[in-house]
């Protein structure tokens, strides 16, 4: 009984901080996106390509979540944008980011100079979906190498998200993955979820993703 109460309290406390974060983003006219995926699905590579393509048009910042190491933050630092690494090792090795960690990280960024903030969550398809960070949209990156049944196995993250990026499309011909089955499985869980197939390596499908991003930003900033 007590355990259940504690979990509810924890999520409620998280939601209060998430709401504060969202207010700060809105005040600064920032579009904040929460990027989720399994380990190795290519979130960081998608970010690298995105910043590379749109870096002249938007001021980006990244909050990078990992259990340990700052390898991904180092990869993004070459774009000369604000990157703050959160390693959850110091928070007991949590397998997800929460609103409190994001709030602390935000304080290290000059938010008045940011248009789009990416929050790269810990590679994990389970609990990241449960924690509101104050973002405006949740984006899942699913690599084609993960098979067709991920949406059926991890429904919550697919149900709660606003966009699915199916990454590593360049590997399709080698993998023998049934793409239609993957899309059908996704539709069963969340019929309204927009899906963009892309390859961060060959840039196939990237136009649609960048277009989605621009549209979200326009909606947010009214410009």
Residue ranges binding Zn ion (CB under 5 A)? 95-96, 127
Closer residue to Zn ion in complex, CB, 95/193: 95
Binding partner of residue 136 among Mg ion, Zn ion, none, CB under 5 to 8 Å per kind? none
Give the nearest distance from C-beta 13 to Zn ion in angstroms.
16
List C-alpha distances in Å: 59 to 31, 42, 86, 123, 210.
11, 22, 21, 25, 14
Give the nearest distance from C-beta 151 to Zn ion in angstroms.
19
Binding partner of residue 96 among Mg ion, Zn ion, none, CB under 5 to 8 Å per kind? Zn ion
Q: Please report, as ranges, the residues that interact with Mg ion according to CB under 5 A.
A: 43-44, 72
Burial 44-53 (b: 16+ CB within 10 A, else e): bbbbbbbbee
Binding partner of residue 54 among Mg ion, Zn ion, none, CB under 5 to 8 Å per kind? none
Closer residue to Mg ion in complex, CB, 22/43: 43
Closer residue to Mg ion in complex, CB, 43/49: 43
Give the nearest distance from C-beta 87 to Zn ion in angstroms.
14
Give the nearest distance from C-beta 95 to Zn ion in angstroms.
3
Closer residue to Mg ion in complex, CB, 161/185: 161
Separation CA 51–CA 68 (nearest Å)? 24
Give the nearest distance from C-beta 126 to Zn ion in angstroms.
7
Give the nearest distance from C-beta 131 to Zn ion in angstroms.
8
Binding partner of residue 22 among Zn ion, Mg ion, none, CB under 5 to 8 Å per kind? none
Binding partner of residue 95 among Zn ion, Mg ion, none, CB under 5 to 8 Å per kind? Zn ion
Q: Which residues pair with 139 in a beta bridge?
A: 35, 163
Separation CA 131–CA 122 (nearest Å)? 12
Binding partner of residue 72 among Zn ion, Mg ion, none, CB under 5 to 8 Å per kind? Mg ion
Closer residue to Zn ion in complex, CB, 77/95: 95
Closer residue to Zn ion in complex, CB, 101/196: 101
């Amino acid at each position: 009984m007590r355990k259940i109460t504690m979990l509810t309290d924890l999520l409620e406390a998280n939601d209060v901080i998430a709401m504060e974060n969202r207010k700060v983003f809105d005040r600064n006219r920032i579009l904040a996106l929460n990027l989720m995926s399994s380990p190795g699905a290519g979130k960081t590579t998608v970010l690298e390509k995105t910043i590379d393509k749109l870096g002249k048009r938007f001021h980006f910042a990244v909050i990078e979540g990992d259990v340990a190491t700052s390898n991904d933050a180092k990869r993004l630092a070459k774009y000369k944008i604000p990157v703050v690494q959160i390693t959850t090792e110091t928070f007991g090795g949590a397998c997800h980011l929460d609103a409190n960690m994001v709030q602390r990280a935000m304080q290290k960024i000059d938010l008045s100079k940011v248009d789009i903030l990416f929050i790269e969550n810990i590679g994990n398809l389970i609990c990241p979906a449960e924690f509101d960070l104050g973002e405006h949209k949740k984006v899942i990156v699913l690599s084609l190498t993960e098979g067709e049944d991920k949406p059926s196995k991890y429904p919550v993250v697919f149900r709660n998200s606003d966009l699915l990026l199916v990454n590593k499309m360049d590997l399709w011909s080698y993998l023998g993955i049934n793409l239609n089955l993957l899309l059908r499985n996704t539709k069963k869980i969340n019929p309204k979820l927009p899906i963009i197939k892309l390859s961060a390596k060959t840039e196939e499908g990237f136009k649609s993703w960048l277009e989605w991003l621009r549209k979200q930003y326009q909606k947010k900033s009214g410009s």
